[in-house]
Amino acid sequence: MDSPDPAAAAAGSRLTELTDSLARVRARIAAACAAAGRAPDEVTLVAVTKTYPADDVLLLTRLGVADVGENRDQEAAAKAAAVAAEGARPRWHFVGRLQRNKCRSVVRYAEVVQSVDSVRLAVALDQAAAQVRDAPLDVLVQVSIDDDPDRGGTLAGAADPDIGLGAVTAAVAGAPALRLAGLMAVAPRGWEPARAFDRLAGIAAAVRAEHPDAGVLSAGMSGDLEPAVAAGATLVRVGSALLGMRATLR
């Protein structure tokens, strides 16, 4: 039967789509946890909503998604404001490359910044967070699994100390307005994901030996969440498997 209200009908079918895709993603996470002998509640799902509208974020929050991720400040700031205006309060994660001059904007909506990869960025984020926040901002230090500095991420053996993993984790841990919550990484192109995430797990264990409270490991996306969970990911960032293929590759 046709709905008398086309807008309501469209929203209803999007809700059905997102209900189904969310069930599929949650089932994948649960199966990956079961295969790894882990409890499904050890893994937080962050819905990466870049390129998709605030209405989709609202539908996902209605479906119980508490964490959403974005990778560009301008888009994220507008979307967070639109979502807040509707009374929804998801935790916003910033997961993209961050320029220092955007820190003052990002700290106004983000609860977690997952992509800190230089000492200079940590310093700028700390200064920005100190001005607007009462509680420290959760930070994940981004790791380059293949030691390629061009694609972002800190390097365990960096020649440039500004992007050294040890220097950046120490800078975040010592920043009064930041809290070192853990690490984030993207599997490098051309690498078998299982190999990439095993390497990441080793790096994470070494960081935790020094910073025992930095227990978050953000790894795994639509195409590779299973090997990430097998390697110990505590947070997966899923975009296209939830929302659909993006028109642009980002």
Ligand X SMILES: *Cc1c(COP(=O)(O)O)cnc(C)c1O
Find where tokens 């039967």 sit. Answer: 1
Q: Quick check: 238 binds ligand X (CB under 6 A)? A: yes
68 or 163: CB nearest ligand X: 68
Residue 236's nearest CA partner among 220, 224, 250, 222 is 220
105 or 127: CB nearest ligand X: 105
Q: Which of 29, 33, 43, 48 touches ligand X by CB under 6 A?
A: 48
Q: Quick check: 232 binds ligand X (CB under 6 A)? A: no
Number of residues binding to ligand X, judged by CB under 6 A: 14
Q: Quick check: 44 binds ligand X (CB under 6 A)? A: no
Binding mask 68-107 for ligand X (x = CB under 6 A): ---x-----------------------xx-----------
44 or 240: CB nearest ligand X: 240
What distance lies between CA 84 and its chain's CA centroid? 19
| b/e code 190-217 from CB counts within 10 Å (16+ = b) | eeebeebbebbbebbeebeeebeebebb
Distance CA 76, CA 114 (A): 14
Q: Quick check: 240 binds ligand X (CB under 6 A)? A: yes
The CB density around residue 98, as the number of other CB atoms within 10 Å, is: 26
177 or 234: CB nearest ligand X: 234
The distance of closest approach from Cβ of residue 91 to ligand X in the complex, given in angstroms and rounded to an integer, is 15
Instruction: Tell whether the torsion through CA atoms of 9, 14, 20 and 23 is positive or negative.
Output: negative
Pick the stretch among 119-127, 196-204, 206-214, 220-228 that binds ligand X (CB under 6 A): 220-228
Secondary structure (3-state) at 98: coil
Six token digits for residue 227:
């090997």
* Footprint on this chain of ligand X (rule: CB under 6 A): 48, 50, 71, 95-96, 186, 221-223, 237-241
